[in-house]
Amino acid sequence: MRTEVEGNNSYCEKVFESDKYRCCESMDKVGMYDVQPFTKARQNITVISKEGKSRLNVHALIEVDVTKAREKITKSKGTIDVSFTGWIVKCVGQAASEHKQMNAYRLGRKKIVLFDDVDIPIPVEREINGEWRLLAYIVRKANEKTVADITKEIRNIQHQTIDASTEVLGETLTRLERWVIHAPFWIKKLGVRLMRGRGLSKKKHFGTIGVTSIGMKGRFPGWVIGMGGPIATLVAVGGIMKKPGVIDDKILIRDYLHITITADHSIIDGGPLARFISRLTELLEIGYGL
């Protein structure tokens, strides 16, 4: 079967025994390749990521000794189910509840709204029709829940029955929300832009502080720099590496977790950001909530 190549008079030949194509004539140097659709899920991620360009993002790259926490999680197996991601969410929620400037949005041009509840959106990877997609789930009031509660909530949502129309897990969406999710690209882009100064609506639909865990998907020895998106603060969890550390004046091998915190400089200054990081580091190093 021949398929014309865009902007070229040459053609591509489909290899019938596979889903691959072979370029012919002037495109023969391209070789074999796959063609996949740019799905609505990818469009949604593009819209959300591009919103980060409109923010005055500040990135903080930190290393945290999580040796004690990992030991506690290992010892708890068989008695109580706690996940590493659930524990990170709990620590972020607690630190943000104590430093509310990290849990805030712009409200119009002249106001900032600070929230008591820390609603933490996390990505959940699910397979839909053979395609792995990142779906959004918001852990509501994470600061008030235990690590076990958060872990159970995440486990339940990972096994939730879904179909191709699902984009937000665990939420009862209105007709308008469902329409916007599956609307044309330009409408989604416009909708996200209109919400920039609507802090209450952003809290309702996006949560406040995002946690994304790249390091849990495989060996990832380093940091990841997040785009920020429309949410107030993003905590991007990278990989864990064994490195020498000084404990009680002794050099020991420790587990260090790489974390990148992205904050909106129009809301948060260096001082409050540093205090939030200091508190979050303290909670992580003592194994808070385990």
More confident residue, 51 or 5: 51
Q: Is the pLDDT of residue 78 over 50?
A: yes
Q: Is the pLDDT of residue 69 over 80?
A: yes
Q: Are residues 100 and 153 in the same domain?
A: yes
Phi and psi dihedrals of 104, rounded to 5? -140, 160
User: What are the tens digits of pLDDT across the range 13-55?
Assistant: 555 444 555 555 555 666 777 777 776 667 777 776 766 666 7
> How far is residue 234 from each of residues 59, 144, 190, 273, measured CA to CA in Å?
9, 20, 22, 12
Q: Are 72 and 290 in contact (CB under 8 A)?
A: yes
Supply the DSSP string of 119-164, one letter for each residue: -EEEEEEEEETTEEEEEEEEETTGGGS-HHHHHHHHHHHHT----T
Q: Are residues 167 and 241 in the same domain?
A: yes
Q: Are residues 11 and 66 in the same domain?
A: no
pLDDT value of position 245: 86
Average model confidence (pLDDT) across the chain: 79
End-to-end CA, the chain: 60
User: What are the tens digits of pLDDT across the range 246-279?
Assistant: 888 889 899 999 999 999 888 888 899 999 999 9
Q: Averaged over 212-241, what is the pLDDT?
A: 76
pLDDT value of position 189: 73
Q: Which domain holds residue 87?
A: 40-286
Number of domains forming the structure of the chain? 2
Q: Give the integer Cα–Cα distance in Å for 170 and 154.
A: 10
Helix (H/G/I), strand (E/B), else coil: 195: coil
pTM to 2 decimal places? 0.77
pLDDT bracket for residue 161 (50, 70, 90): low
pLDDT value of position 33: 74
Q: Are residues 208 and 250 in the same domain?
A: yes
Q: Are residues 70 and 185 in the same domain?
A: yes
Helix (H/G/I), strand (E/B), else coil: 7: coil
Q: Are residues 166 and 137 in the same domain?
A: yes
Q: Is the pLDDT of residue 162 over 70?
A: no
Q: Are residues 89 and 193 in the same domain?
A: yes
pLDDT value of position 130: 66
Helix (H/G/I), strand (E/B), else coil: 97: helix
CA dihedral 51, 55, 61, 65 (to 10 degrees): -70
